[in-house]
Amino acid sequence: MNAERAQQIYDSKDTIPVHLDNGQSVWIEKVDQANGVATVQVGTNPINTQTVAVERLHEPH
């Protein structure tokens, strides 16, 4: 995924599934397009957040 698509998902009113490259479901909490990273919540635990390269994010098919 690229930073622009990550921002589109973040801004969307719809719930769009996103996974990390290891298959874990994540919620995008913030996108830093300039640096190509996103802060994501891993799973359902709101304190389990990570900042990852947007290239590690993908939409399941």
Q: What pLDDT, on the 0 to 100 scale, is given for residue 61?
A: 78
Q: Residue ranges of the domains in the chain?
A: 3-58
pLDDT tens digits, 8-53: 999 999 999 999 999 999 999 999 999 999 999 999 888 999 999 9
Q: Report the chain's terminal Cα–Cα distance, integer Å.
A: 13
**What's the CATH code, domain 3-58?**
2.30.30
Q: How far does Cα 52 stand from its chain's mean position?
A: 8
Tell the residue number behind the tokens 């802060």, with chain if given.
39
CA–CA dist 33, 45 (Å, integer): 25
CA–CA dist 9, 34 (Å, integer): 17
Q: Which amino acid is at 1?
A: M
Model confidence at 57, in pLDDT bands (50, 70, 90)? very high
Model confidence at 56, in pLDDT bands (50, 70, 90)? very high
Q: What pLDDT, on the 0 to 100 scale, is given for residue 58?
A: 97
Q: Which residues pair with 9 in a beta bridge?
A: none
